[in-house]
Amino acid sequence: MCALDMARINCGIRAAVSFHGSFGQLPDQPNPEELEPIKASVLICHGDADTHVPTEQCLNMMKELRARKADWQFISYGNAKHGFTEPSLANSTREGIGYDEKAAKRSFAVMIALLKESF
């Protein structure tokens, strides 16, 4: 969430990556259409089975990124839950939370590609 929010406020970063983050609206901000374009490249890696982030939040985040003319990717990993990059969650019994090895490896690979491109 922090990396994504840093990109949204244009604090000078080149790239931001969000893994199983949340996408709430920034406080005290006007409509996205009224804000300046996002300068950083943005990568959002999200689990399709993440019950902690409502679909509406995902759609609103994409709408903001479009409105602010960002260079962005939103990748939704099928059947991956919230925390899908955390091996310690492999045996989680909490609803919508769990490790997914395939999604973790794929998301890290696309992150590395974005960072190489950005730097």
> What pTM value is reported for the model?
0.94
Taking only the tens place, the pLDDT of each residue in 63-106 is 999 999 999 999 999 999 999 999 999 999 999 999 999 999 99
**For residues 9 and 11, what is the distance between their CA atoms, to the nearest angstrom?**
6
Instruction: Give the Cα separation of 84 and 18 in Å (integer).
Output: 12
Which ranges in the chain belong to alpha helices (H)?
2-8, 55-67, 101-118
Cross-strand pairs, 16? 42
CATH code, residues 2-118: 3.40.50.1820
Helices (H), 30-73: 55-67
- What's the pLDDT tens digit per position in 7-51? 999 999 999 999 999 898 888 777 777 889 999 999 999 999 999
